[in-house]
Structure 1
Amino acid sequence: MLDVKLLRDDFEAVQAMLEARHNELDLSAFNALDQKRRDLITEADQLKADRKNKSKDIGRMMKAGEDPGPIKEEVGRIGERIKEMDAELAEVVEELNALLARIPNMLDPQTPIGAGEDDNVEISQHGEPTRFDFEPKDHVDLGTALGILDFERATKVTGARFTVLRGDGARLERALINFMCDVHAEQGYFEVMPPFIVNDDSMFGTGQFPKMKEDVFQLAGTHYYLIPTAEVPVTNLHRDEMLKEEELPFHYQAFTPCFRSEAGSYGKDTRGLIRQHQFNKVEMVKFVHPDRSDAELEGLRDDAEEILRRLALPYRVMALCSGDISFAASKCYDLEVWLPGQGKYREISSCSNFKDFQARRAKIRYKGASGKGFVHTLNGSGLAVGRTLVAILENYQMADGRIRVPDALRPYLNDQATIEKQVR
């Protein structure tokens, strides 16, 4: 959430941010609501002071043997008016907060301006796209032929956009999870396993609510939701807390399944593992001092890239433009891995700096020698496990349809060198 002072002092900057994001949110009601809130508070305070003074007069009159009846009636009328104003103020504050909650984060000066993903800017490219002396297949054909991916039975069990991982497919997924968690532990991330179900306050704190409510799975008849990413429960671990400045930064990692309705992506990536309703992810989350925010983002990105480097997967780094960056992010890098089966790069990680946007919503502060304020929060996928499995199948495929296991994963698979056709 933005600091309300920013809207009061530099309303034009917020309007310019909305235009850069191609966000059509109407802020015209803000000034009137904010002024009405101030007027109501001022008038109510005056009435409360008047009531206090008149109450003192009542006491003096009673001691003097005078009739305080008329003043009592007036105090009663003032009290009723204060009640009315308090109720009116509550409505105005609720309306104002609802508007503020729908305003996205301010953009970092380094975020490119653009209309959508075609305007994202390539920062760097690592490794050459994998080439073969045969026609490469995509992960669906490869995994189905090997018997490690079963889409048909998953559809029978649940529905579209679910998958059963079988045999070495399941083992490879588990190996990837353990590998990623081990690497991030080396990098200094403290591992947690949070709840996979969260409440309204948690979804609001990280910026999923109210804007993206249609994209989550809600447990019927409750205010509980399946997490869309570990970012939500891990960031909210410190909701409503005052952190000690000398203990910052906090670096967390968490493996979780993730659940997304994909309501806004109807018809997109319906083939295979790219866009599923349920998928696994290893997430990195940081709580940092504002002075270290920019440097921590670069470190976060490098930590995610290390997974790709160790797996020897070709990838590139993209700076997301204003029209493609998420609601809560101020600056974001996407890591895109090369997929030979599709002949293009696809996102496998997003590394974002939210600055104090989430911390304001979740009330996560710090205090120490330099003063006090809101922490900055950052997160990044390290990586989306299913998409990493896709990248391995497609980049490590062999002419006979088998898959070579990357060297970095072999210790997690009992030194198994290849993925063969499953026997059952």
Structure 2
Amino acid sequence: MLDIAFIRHNTDLVRAAITNKRVDLDLDALLAADKERREVLAKLEQRRARKNEIASLIPKASKEDRPRLIEEGKAVKLEVEQLEPAVAQVQKTFDGLMLRVPSIPRPEVPIGVGEEDNVEIRKVGTPREFAFKPKDHVELMTLHKMVNWDGPRKFAGGRSYALTGTGALLELAVTRLAVDTLVERGLTIVVPPVMVKERAMVGTGFFPLGTEEAYAITADELYLVGTSEVPLVSLHCDDTLDPAQLPIRYAGISNCFRREAGAYGKDTKGLYRVHQFTKVEQVIFCVPDEEVAEKEHYQLLGNAEAILAKLEIPYRVAIACTGEIGLGQTRKHEVESWMPGRNDGKGAYNETHSCSTLGDFQARRSNIRLRMPDGSLGYPYTLNNTAIASPRILIPLLENHQNADGSITLPKALVPYMNGVEVLRPKV
């Protein structure tokens, strides 16, 4: 959420962000609601002040003046009672529009519409050239009996699955490798709630525009999160932090849930796009300084790359264009892992991680304040990055390390987490 004073004085900049981020918002309607809100509120405050003034004058008034003051007091009271709902209504309109205002992309963010407009920064590792026809992850996991494909879909619906045997152990191993890497790098591990109130979804910017992607538990007015970013940021809602506490670096481990409402008929095969997954998410709170935030951003990105290096997966890093970054993001890098089985077996880089800077967007919405050195109140910046998300990460892990006989040679860093097993053999 941007400061309304900033919006008033930078309308061209905000209008460009709305256009380039493809946000459905009428800025003129917001500015009109802001003007009306201020006018009605000023009138209400003036009439309240007169009401209080009359109340103080009546006890001191003469017998001649008292009836007039009493009548005026009644009239002013009626005006106040009529203005209060009007103020509440225009405030509601104003607040609803403000929640749709996007943050301003950083200058380095390319203007574009979709992922084809993202700009590649670098490639790390070389995609493997197989001396045999490689299998995709569906074939490999079926061969190794890592997944029960059909059973869950009978009772849980499409895009459901159950990791079994080695598949379940592999997810746990990859997750623990990611956790240990982050602990070594100074992050605090958190296992947060995955059911949250609407306030948390609004505060982190996932509502109102992403409501259709969340699963709702209507009886309890709760929502299942699509990332532990939501509860990790919300841990400090309504808090006033001290700069000495910062940076706060969290790594959340949680199940995540996403309806994939906008992906009907897309990526229905295998485990690339599913409704439930396990994720380790990094979240940072830092002082409101662009240089500090940039440093934290690239440290987060480095953490994700370190995990991919341990898993020996080739990948590329791209900076996302304006049409691909979210409402609150000012900068986002996507990390795309090489998946030999994608693109009809031709292979493709596909997103497995994203690293985002959000400025004070989430802090403002979540009422997370910062006591500045001069005693004034500001807002901390927040950042986030995927450390690992499974089962998607299992796709490049299995496909890149397969052998001609269907076996899978595990990366050395993963072997200790798989009880010393170096090679996974197909199940008979």
The TM-score, its normalising length taken from structure 2, stands at 0.96
Contact 1:246 1:368 in 2 (8 A): no
Q: Tell me the SS of whatever aligns to 2:392.
A: helix
Equivalent of 1:166 in 164, 167, 179: 164
* Cα deviation 1:29-70 (Å, max 9, x = unaligned): 122211111111222222223223333332222xx4446223
2:408 is aligned with 1:403: yes
Question: Matches of 1:77 and 1:172 in 2, distance apart?
Answer: 74
Q: How many residue pairs end up in the alignment?
A: 421
Question: Matches of 1:186 and 1:416 in 2, distance apart?
Answer: 24
Aligned to 1:362: 366
* Cα deviation 1:151-175 (Å, max 9, x = unaligned): 1112123111011111111111110
Contact 1:243 1:366 in 2 (8 A): yes
Aligned to 1:254: 252
Aligned to 1:288: 286
2:121 is aligned with 1:114: no
Contact 1:168 1:422 in 2 (8 A): no
* Cα deviation 1:271-316 (Å, max 9, x = unaligned): 1111000011110000001221111101110011100011111000
Q: Tell me the SS of whatever aligns to 2:358.
A: strand
Question: Matches of 1:418 and 1:31 in 2, distance apart?
Answer: 63
Q: Tell me the SS of whatever aligns to 2:5.
A: helix
Question: Matches of 1:185 and 1:417 in 2, distance apart?
Answer: 25
Question: Matches of 1:199 and 1:319 in 2, distance apart?
Answer: 32
* Cα deviation 1:169-192 (Å, max 9, x = unaligned): 111111011111000000000011
Question: Matches of 1:166 and 1:71 in 2, distance apart?
Answer: 81
Q: Tell me the SS of whatever aligns to 1:45.
A: helix
Contact 2:355 2:386 in 1 (8 A): yes
Contact 2:336 2:350 in 1 (8 A): yes
CA RMSD in angstroms, aligned pairs only: 1.3
The TM-score, its normalising length taken from structure 1, stands at 0.97
Contact 2:58 2:66 in 1 (8 A): yes
Question: Matches of 2:49 and 2:171 in 1, distance apart?
Answer: 67
Aligned to 1:352: 356
Contact 2:144 2:166 in 1 (8 A): no
Aligned to 1:190: 188
Q: Which stretches of structure 1, 4 residues or more, deviate above 6 A after TM superposition?
A: none
Contact 2:21 2:327 in 1 (8 A): no
Structure 1, gaps ≥5 residues long: none
* Cα deviation 1:100-153 (Å, max 9, x = unaligned): 111222211111111111000000100001211001111001111221122111
Shift of 1:93: 0.6
Question: Matches of 1:162 and 1:66 in 2, distance apart?
Answer: 81
Aligned to 2:68: 70
Contact 1:254 1:284 in 2 (8 A): yes
1:22-421 equivalences under 5 Å are 22-61=22-61, 64-66=62-64, 68-291=66-289, 292-342=292-342, 343-369=347-373, 372-421=377-426
Matched AA of 2:37: R
Matched AA of 1:352: S
Shift of 1:234: 0.7
Alpha carbons of 1:81 and 1:372: their partners in 2 closer, same or farther (altered >3 Å)?
closer
Contact 2:363 2:379 in 1 (8 A): yes
Question: Matches of 2:348 and 2:236 in 1, distance apart?
Answer: 39
Matched AA of 1:20: N
Q: Tell me the SS of whatever aligns to 1:355.
A: coil
* Cα deviation 1:199-238 (Å, max 9, x = unaligned): 1010011111111001011113231011110100111000
Name which of structure 1's ranges 11-20 and 24-33 shifts more when overlaid on structure 2: 24-33
Contact 2:23 2:100 in 1 (8 A): no
Alpha carbons of 1:56 and 1:146: their partners in 2 closer, same or farther (altered >3 Å)?
closer
